[in-house]
Amino acid sequence: MNLLCKHTLLLALLACLGLPVLSAQAALLAATAQPNQRQLQVNQDNNFAVNWRVTAGSAHSGGAASSSARIINPSGGATLATVGGTLSQGGSGPFLFGEFISLPQATVQGWQRSGLRRVLLVRDFADLAGGGAVRGQQVLVLPAPTQPTQPVGSLRAVKIQPAQRQVLASQRNVLALAWQVVASDDFSGRVSSSRARIIDPASGGVLTTLGDGLSASGRTPFLLSEQLELSAAEVQGWYARGLRRLILQREFSSGSQSLSAQVVLTLVSSGLRAPRENRDGELLVQRLSLSFLDNQRIKLVPPATELKAKVLLGYSGNGLVEGRWQVAEPGSTEGKPFYRTLTLVRSQLGSAQQSTLFSPPLPTAKAGKYRLRFCVTNQDLVPADALVLDSGCPIESLTVETVYEVLGGSGPAAQLAIAASPQSGTVDAATAFQWRAVDGAVVYQLQLFAIGLDQQNAGEVEVLGESPSFVAGMLLPASTTQTPLSALMRNKLQPGRYYLWRVTAHDQGGALIGKSQEWRVRYQP
């Protein structure tokens, strides 16, 4: 009996038994979540967006619906929690659903204590015409608990500003450096560093040590400033040996823990001859500034708007700069963003010391928040002993990022102005940022933006041409209308600096339905 005959007999048997006979072209086919995996945090509430896509056969017209989402233990399939609301659409597929999920900190900590390392966020989508169901899932990864041998309070990171410097063999070089050591909120020790070291990255050998010991205690982050001096004779000696790039490094420790940070030093014979001395590939990028074509640092635009961005690049020397424009689209901008490359950049830079690089047209078809970044990718600019965390953008200090938002169908005219406070003054870890509730809001987003400051003018005069740049944000459920800054946000702020803050309200589909004015406050822990 051939295959066609077997298929015909099977259909006849199903009909005799009174079971529905569905065409593959008229059924739901699959359901997927975007992103398909997410890292959960155990030191804060988890509020994130999920996009579901349900595909159907070409003849399907019965719609799709799901009553709720569930958190499932992948070992055994037990339901741990029910989250989300009803999602439903009629008509033909594919069907696209968006929602915000809220998981309290205590719930996630309970899963972690029970030994779970991952759970599944699951939705079953049923055919409204009675044609079966399909299941989609997102993997939620839980961090492993802190090992008992590790102290409760720990060092997290060391940051240095600036991350690159040029030193001249023709004069005495004074390097003003600001080190920032970040620790966990429960850290209660002292951090210290004995001396700075100058390292030859080719051999790893220490050429000299300099500076005094640095130490600090109290509340994180720890800010330690110093001025280091390199004599003309030292730099001339290294330059005569053919060295053109060195590493200035400090190691900070507390008990058995230690972390280090470094500054890349580029050696030139003199300031006037630096552009001529640098051969192709010995370029030193000193500053990147990202904005849109109208010089705004963040944008809110209607759908299908023509949008481009630009990077102002300050550099010394000359050579070929390589980079890439990348964007993370709605649905992948919360938690760890998923970036895709829009275009690669290869541009020959002369001795002008400043250049502007323009982006390709940016995507604006879908409503929601986008993250845009530009990064320099020259492999010769990556320090020899640096840890590369992102192969797409290998040099964290040479990466700049901003955000823009494409509005939903209601447009900016329908957005509600939200009353919020504080509207001025000084804020700290205990300050409550609060706002009026917005009808229809499913989630609020609190955002902070850094203001460029002229440090020579009492710290309160904005630098001309410097637009506010996005620093950090928090997603909060609709039930929350006031909150202090989270520890993760505070770790990104500098004491004594001024910031702009605002809150925005978003509906079930992620569309912007309200926003507050930007208020200027000073952070002083």
Residue 426 confidence (pLDDT): 93
Q: Which two tokens stand for residue 130?
A: 């009675």
Selection from 409-423, 454-468, 488-502 with the highest mean pLDDT: 488-502
pLDDT at 27 over 80: yes
Residues 80 and 137 in one domain: yes
H helix or E strand, kind and range, residue 209: strand 206-210
| Assessment of whether the complete model's pTM goes beyond 0.75 | no
279 in a structural domain: no
Who's near 275: CB < 8 A, 6+ residues apart? 316, 317, 318, 350, 351, 353
123 in a structural domain: yes
Phi-psi region of 411 (alpha: psi -120 to 50; beta: other; left: phi over 0): left
pLDDT mean across residues, the chain:
80
Residues 429 and 456 in one domain: yes
212 in a structural domain: yes
Residue 294 confidence (pLDDT): 85
Domain end, chosen from 141, 173, 204, is at: 141
CATH number at residue 378: 2.60.40.10
Residue 485 confidence (pLDDT): 92
Residues 430 and 384 in one domain: no
CA-to-CA distance for 475 and 477, rounded, in angstroms?
A: 7
Residues in the chain, overall count: 525
10 in a structural domain: no
pLDDT at 148 over 60: no
Residues 243 and 290 in one domain: no
HEC letters along 306-349 = CCCEEEEEEEECCEEEEEEEEEECCCCCCCCCCCEEEEEEEEEE
In this prediction, residue 23 has a pLDDT band, given cuts at 50, 70 and 90, of: low
Strands (E) across 350-458 are located at 354-358, 368-376, 399-406, 416-418, 420-421, 426-427, 433-435, 443-450
Domain end, chosen from 356, 385, 406, is at: 406
Q: How many domains does the chain have?
A: 4
Residue 15 confidence (pLDDT): 43
pLDDT at 523 over 90: yes
Residue 332 confidence (pLDDT): 64
* Under 8 Å between Cβ of 88 and 45: no
Residue 68 confidence (pLDDT): 92
CA-to-CA distance for 420 and 516, rounded, in angstroms?
A: 6
Give the C-alpha distances (Å, rounded to integers) separating 231 from 169, 172, 228, 504.
8, 5, 10, 52
Residues 42 and 123 in one domain: yes
17 in a structural domain: no
Domain that holds residue 55: 27-141
Collapse the DSSP code of 119 into the 3-class scheme (helix H, G, I; strand E, B; otherwise coil) and give the result: strand
Residues 336 and 241 in one domain: no
Domain end, chosen from 406, 427, 452, is at: 406
Residues 191 and 257 in one domain: yes
Residues 292 and 387 in one domain: yes
3 in a structural domain: no
pLDDT at 232 over 70: yes
pLDDT digit string, tens, across residues 177-191: 888 888 888 887 889
420 in a structural domain: yes
Q: Select the more confidently predicted residue: 452 or 479.
A: 479
In this prediction, residue 414 has a pLDDT band, given cuts at 50, 70 and 90, of: very low
Residues 402 and 449 in one domain: no
Residues 471 and 498 in one domain: yes
Residues 307 and 336 in one domain: yes
pLDDT at 303 over 70: yes
49 in a structural domain: yes
Give the C-alpha distances (Å, rounded to integers) separating 413 from 301, 302, 478, 501.
12, 11, 22, 22
Residues 103 and 159 in one domain: no
CA-to-CA distance for 477 and 433, rounded, in angstroms?
A: 14
**What is the mean pLDDT of the segment spanning 296-324?**
86
CA-to-CA distance for 32 and 25, rounded, in angstroms?
A: 19
Who's near 213: CB < 8 A, 6+ residues apart? 192, 193, 194, 195
